[in-house]
Structure 1
Amino acid sequence: MDFRLTDDQQALRKGVRELLERRFDRDALRAAAAGPAALDRGLWRELGAAGFFALRLPEAAGGVGLGLPEAVIAFEEAGRVLLPGPLIATHLAAGEVEGAAEGEAVVAAPDGPLVEWLDEADVVVGDAAGAVPIRSVDPLTPLHRLPVPALRTPAEGVGRTGSRRLTAALLSAAEQVGSAGRTTEAAVAHAGTREQFGQPIGGFQAVKHLCAGMLVRTEVARAAVYAAAVTGDPVEIAGAKLLADEAAVDCARDCLQVHGGMGFTWESEVHLHLKRAWVRAERWMPRALAEEAEAAHLSPS
């Protein structure tokens, strides 16, 4: 099967990247992380106008009429720049919640024990009664914890609710791939300019191995996510989420290693990628749930 992007998909990626580079560059990311978490409603509406939330909504319903592979491409770009906000919940609500597709409404949705961006949400899909704010490791992902978390099992891959959560897991995996790709790029760029002992640190074998490992993890995860977007198979989505979570977390850690102490400073974005990767890894389909789904497939009895 050929997973190379078509010309239209390449154009979609280019368009989303240009929009985000213009409206949410690295300076905007650092500024957002330095202050209290708040959504840029203007940017949210721009995303809506660009069709980000309505990508999979049929044209007859006012959407773009594309499929899950195209949504994965768009969410990968969002993950690359650490775009904040309940992107997945709002995307899933397009066509069901008034204003979600256009970016006029911000939608939050509980998943297991947590719900993101509850205070900023115009609409909450699901029961968030009694949710209390908790401290989030990621300054750009405010969290609330539910008093009685919803039960999640691998069997939720069947039915409407399960299908939505599977889609959410895949889009989260796409964001993780985007983050892994960005930290890989950052590590390679830093290794090419930072000098020690009179030469770039990228010339040292240990650093070369770190960067090569990051690239391999990222490309393997990307291939798994793209394949799962084409097949929509629950087991493949679970495997893609596992690989993408691992790639995002481990690439961010290795990027920190390449940057040294500088990677932990506020003027660097590297630590923000690691923190977001930790949060995403616990959302929609955490590792334990994905592993259970894989194990159930391998041992159906």
Structure 2
Amino acid sequence: MTATPRHTRLSGLEPLVITPDLLFINVGERTNVTGSAQFKKLIKEGRFEEAVEVARQQVANGAQILDVNMDEGLIDSEAAMVRFLNLIMSEPDIARIPVMVDSSKWSVIEAGLKCLQGKSVVNSISLKEGEAAFIEHARKVLRYGAAAVVMAFDEDGQADTCARKVEICTRAYKVLTEQVGFPPEDIIFDPNIFAVATGIEEHDNYAVDFIEATRIIKDTLPGCHVSGGVSNVSFSFRGNEPVRQAIHSVFLYHAIRAGMDMGIVNAGGMPIYDDLDADLRERVEDVILNRRKDSTERLLEIAEKY
């Protein structure tokens, strides 16, 4: 008798079952104070009702999970997380999708999880502070019945090469599945998306490293998912939204083919790969795939046109 394939099951008021035919899950990024100046301003000024509208817009634009992050020096992150989550939980059109509780502080994550119904996602846990802390956090995530984003980050820092990304994710997978009893389908690896086209040669292969690591992780660690913060890749072009969106589109086209099946994006804000201007697409692709030495210069040549 063949075993039934185990799918990731998340939920807000409605279930989200992540099956292989769902090629890519959009995680809405705009309810994040580190990624949206508008959202940060609203939260800092205590305009929470208006901040709820940002969440509503993300859902309307097709976000299937909502990433919520309140990590900002001048904000009481825990209080802001609780207040905001309680507000969106009382809005059925927003509360229908699962929430990704996003914080670098465990106390904020735990406070957030206590507000949520259904099955949420924790963003994130990692081996940064060693195995003991990692296991402790993973067990708590399991107790709350959540899935977890696991960063490619260990005691020696963030992984930036393909080999390090694969090494850390493999180690984390073994610890989670063999020592914690964590369901593989609830493990979402984030192998770190870094900015390309920075003018620093060592950064030129960052997108290729992510894409290749994704391919290996999906081939060798059964059941897991791969996600990442997509807007990081285009950070060098901040201020030029059309070029940034083209970079996101090309990056995702290749990353999804390699097995990336989830990502933090501006839901509804991205052009389709095939609809991009051919010259722009080719030059962006040269940058993403690190196909030529002068790819950054060639993209800069035409960037102002868009």
TM-score (norm 1): 0.29
More helix by share: 1
More strand by share: 2
TM-score (norm 2): 0.28
